[in-house]
Structure 1
Amino acid sequence: MEIIIGVDDHDSTKAGCTTHFSVLLMRELAKRGFEIKEIPKLVRLNPNLPWKTRGNASVSFSIEVTEDTDIILKIKEIIENLSYKYVTEISKGFEMNRKPGYALAKTNDLIGVKDDIERFYEMALSDVVTTDLAKRFAKNRNIVVGGDRGIIGSIASMGFHGDYSFELLTYRIKDNWDKERILDKNSVIGADIKLFPKVSSNYDYFKDVPLILSHGTDPVLYGLRGTTPYVLLEEMNLVKAYEAIDFFMLFKTNQMTDAHIRRTGINFYQTTKIEFKVSSIKVLEGGHVIINGYDSPVVVYKETRELNSMSKILKNGDVIEVIGSVKPSYNNTKIVEAERIRVISLNDMREEVPTCPKCGKKMESIGKNKGYKCRRCKTFSKEKDNIKIKRDLSLEVYQSSLYRHLTKPIFLELQHIDLRVEKDVMDKILSEILEKDISIKLG
């Protein structure tokens, strides 16, 4: 019999990480004889929520158990005990108002409600979901939940479906959590060059800094993102860090898949997709750009770099499609924060005061809406001339260089991996973790 488990909200600003906790939980279950059936799923949720956790990610995985009438209660007890120890001893989450949660269910019980759970996942990706709604949802579908707000992500992770990529996370020895992370940046560049385009988000060549390093006092050393398990294992061997790794884990994830734009809307904290004709552009002090023409202003922040640069040369009459997040502004109005812009058509004409066909001089206006006249030749023109101009934009997609977790890089080609390959990789990684004397003792 198979049981699926989801966990969320086990991190805090002080320490801890939900993925870190999930690996310790898998290790504890494996030590007790339960078989881990798959690579765990790392599921990023709605990136627009102001109260989201640092990575806004939940984790789910499946285990094989022997048939037992009390098996759900036994697994529930293991999760609760380990969760409480982790949040009190490691992440100090309760001190930081974190509200961890978990969910579990027999896989067979979920077959009939598969569509419901997938819709819940999509809702958690794109909208605001309350804890009460999640509890009612679970109760009506034989899903056992515990804890608080974390049950939302826990249930959502069970419904993960669609395109996927992989992330390999390495974890630090506990004594190093408050120390600076240092690695050989040339090794990161070398790995990026060798393995591109199967890997992404390794290095910021503009700022000349690695992007793979985590920050703060959480237990993650670095994270590698790519399209297959084996390319990430190869990359890990190429990256040189100046500290020992406690353990690592590979995750199957919705990162870099554009999952958040599958279901769009126009309400606060939703991702939206809008098409409109540009009426005007305003460049603010500091470099941010306001694009007008839609019901709500579109903001393109300076930090988006290439996207910000292209937005400055849009003009009245251009037709664009914007993907971005709907956020509240002053007086409860809305703004759209752009993360991607597709240029549909360009206004490549410019109106100019007409030229006299006889003498070649510019005509003069004879009054508002009254036309133009050459003072010398007395020739008349009712309208301005339309002059074709060259534009420094193409009919293509422009994207922020600062990727969100879910944003799919334009160059990335996602792959589908045989489940037997995934299981083989997972078994090898877990075997290594079980054999190691790791720095965290919770069980």
Structure 2
Amino acid sequence: MPVAHIGIDDTDSNYLGMCTTYIGALIEDELRGLGYAGAGEPRLVRLNPAYPMKTRGNGAIHLRYRVEGRADAMRLFGRVEDILARSAALADSKVDPGLVMIVTPDASPPAALSPIYEEALRRIVSLPAAIKLLASLGAIASWFKSGRGLVGAAAAIGAPEDATRMYELLAYRSPGSPRGPRPVDEESVRIADLETWPMTYDNYDWYSMEALVAPRGPDPVIVGVRGPDRSSVIRAYSALRIGTRVERVAIYRTNHGSGSHVVDVDAVSEIEPYTTVRLEGRVATRPSFERGSHVFFTLEDSRGGRIRVAAYEPTKHFRQVVLGLEPGDRVRVVGSFRPHPPDPPTINLELLEVLELVELRARSAPKCPVCGSRMESEGSGKGYRCTRCGHRDPGAVPVEVRLPRRIVRGTYLPPPRAHRHLTRPVEASLWEDSFHCAVED
């Protein structure tokens, strides 16, 4: 039986609320009620986090249903279009929804759309290029404004099945509910995290002692729980004590935590605007606080190109790791590049790999050969005297000593509160060598 693949993007507003995943849940519930059979788990596909026009997490959705033929598929498309028209935050001028349908013989994501997913995950895809590709595949599309959301909708359908290995459970309040903080008992979040970690992650930030499952915006999401194991995600959600009515719950397969948005570059000159890059180089300037609570340093690549790197205030104690770097250290940085003239080009640091540390040395007074204490200078050219035992050595000279470093080689992440949806979490690397999470002194 043929399968109708539905992609939806750009329906939510930072100001008016709504959420593309909530619209996906509405569609799932309504179409199920009409007798349509799902042809695979609904998918939440996160795209380029550096995209300048994104709202919050830049997520699009992919839904799949079995249909009896083209006429049945068009009826289904019309139903989805109606739900989108009445639910998307169209009053926000920045919201630009797109709806795409492509019918294939089975539930596998169409390989012809895989390139647009790979590109939209890491860079910016032009709308004309997306429309041209969709037309060549005989896709059905609908949009309400300029059609910008068609890019994300097509990319969501094109994400390969193995790109969405994680699960996210989302519980929603009614969009008409009063806005404000979600009444989620914090102790229950800690318990849920302890009982299901590492098969769920980023539920709670144990450094700042802050629950992370509840968003702060005007959208209808009450809580979100994510992890690689569906049953663990459900178990963590079941442990939460939520002090408001849950209207509905949805579980999506997703590419969260994959780190797949990163573009490897060999030089500063290869960095494109609005991308997240991985670049290796040497620390060229000692990190320091600037503009209040942000930490900056300059990185130099193997070709002599330089770029500023920033650990911003929300990364909290991760900044102390960055401050532990010294000129000459070899590092690999991962972070987004979003130009903000007149500011100099800057990488917003998401992950730091310390590959090689330079040796720091300083001149120091020699130790007393009698008692081992550090001696004191008697004056220029007069040697040294031990204040502990009284031994004098007029011929003693300063010695060079090795200074301890504040950090060690390894990989460092900001605390969970500063993670992006696509950030590869520490839990994914528990079995790898030399992995460190930044800790507060």
TM-score by length of 2: 0.82
What letter corresponds to residue 156 of structure 1 in structure 2? A
**Structure 1: 5+ residue stretches without partners:** 365-372, 415-443
The answer (yes or no) to whether the contact 1:39–1:61 under 8 Å persists in 2 is: yes
Following superposition, the deviation at residue 49 of structure 1 comes to: 1.8
Q: Is the 8 A contact 2:67 2:73 kept in 1?
A: no
Cα distance, 1:346 vs structure 2: 0.5
RMSD of equivalent CA atoms? 3.1
Question: CA 1:352/1:327 → structure 2, altered by over 3 Å: closer, same or farther?
Answer: farther
1:286-324 alpha-carbon deviations (Å, 9 max, x no partner):
232211132111111132123211111111111110001
Matching residue of 1:31: 33
Question: Which runs of structure 1 show a deviation greater than 4 angstroms over 4 or more consecutive aligned residues?
Answer: 109-113, 262-265, 351-355, 373-377
Shift of 1:386: 5.8
Shift of residue 28 of structure 1?
2.1
Q: Could you tell me which residue of structure 1 aligns to residue 84 of structure 2?
A: 83
- When residues 297 and 97 of structure 1 are mapped into structure 2, their CA distance, relative to the original with a 3 A threshold, is closer
Q: Distance in 1 between matches of 2:170 and 2:95?
A: 22
Aligned residue in 1 for 2:153 = 154
1:277-426 to structure 2, matched below 5 A, reads 277-281=282-286, 282-294=288-300, 295-331=306-342, 333-350=344-361, 352=363, 387-401=401-415, 402-412=418-428
3-state secondary structure, aligned to 1:340: strand
Q: Do the aligned residues in 1 keep the contact of 2:170 with 2:221 (CA within 8 Å)?
A: yes
User: 1:391 Cα shift?
Assistant: 1.1
Bigger Cα displacement from structure 2, 203-212 vs 340-349: 203-212
Aligned residues: 397
- State the shift of 1:385 in Å: 7.5
Which is worse superposed, 78-87 or 148-157? 78-87
**Does 1:132 pair with 2:128?**
yes
Task: Return the alpha-carbon distance in structure 2 between the equivalents of residues 385 and 303 of structure 1.
Answer: 42
Q: Cα distance, 1:32 vs. partner?
A: 2.2
What's the CA shift for 1:329?
3.8
Aligned counterparts of 1:44 and 1:332: Cα–Cα separation in 2: 28
Q: Which amino acid aligns with 2:97?
A: P
3-state secondary structure, aligned to 1:259: coil
Q: Distance between the aligned counterparts of 2:123 and 2:91, measured in 1?
A: 26
Mark the runs of 5 or more structure 2 residues left unpaired by the alignment: 301-305, 367-374, 384-392, 431-441
Q: String of CA shifts for 1:370-426, please: whole Å, max 9, x gaps.
A: xxx96989x9x9xx9864222121110011111111101122369xxxxxxxxxxxx
**For each residue in 1:101-139, what CA deviation from the matched residue of structure 2 results, as whole angstroms up to 9, or x when unmatched?**
11111123998961x422211111111122222111211
One-letter amino acid matched to 2:136: N
**1:69–1:131 distance in 2 versus 1, CA, 3 Å:** same
Rounded Cα–Cα distance in structure 2 between residues aligned with 1:57 and 1:81: 21
The DSSP-based 3-state class of the residue aligned with 1:199 is coil
Identity of aligned residues (%): 25
Residue in structure 1 matching 2:52, options 42, 50, 53: 50
SS in 2 for 1:80: helix
**Which structure: greater helix fraction?**
1
| CA–CA separation in structure 1 for the residues paired with 2:11 and 2:38 | 21
Higher mean Cα deviation, 52-61 or 155-164?
Answer: 155-164
Q: 1:339 to 1:95 in 2, by over 3 A?
A: closer
Alpha-carbon distance in structure 2 between the residues aligned to 1:206 and 1:132: 46
Distance 1:201-1:74 versus aligned 2 partners, 3 A rule = same
Equivalent in the alignment of 1:122: 118
Question: Using the alignment, how far apart are the partners of 1:225 and 1:135 within structure 2?
Answer: 33
TM-score, normalised relative to structure 1: 0.81
What is the alpha-carbon distance in structure 1 between the residues aligned to residue 279 and residue 264 of structure 2? 13
Q: Distance in 2 between matches of 1:346 and 1:388?
A: 13
2:137 equivalent among 111, 131, 141: 141
* Equivalent position SS for 2:426: coil
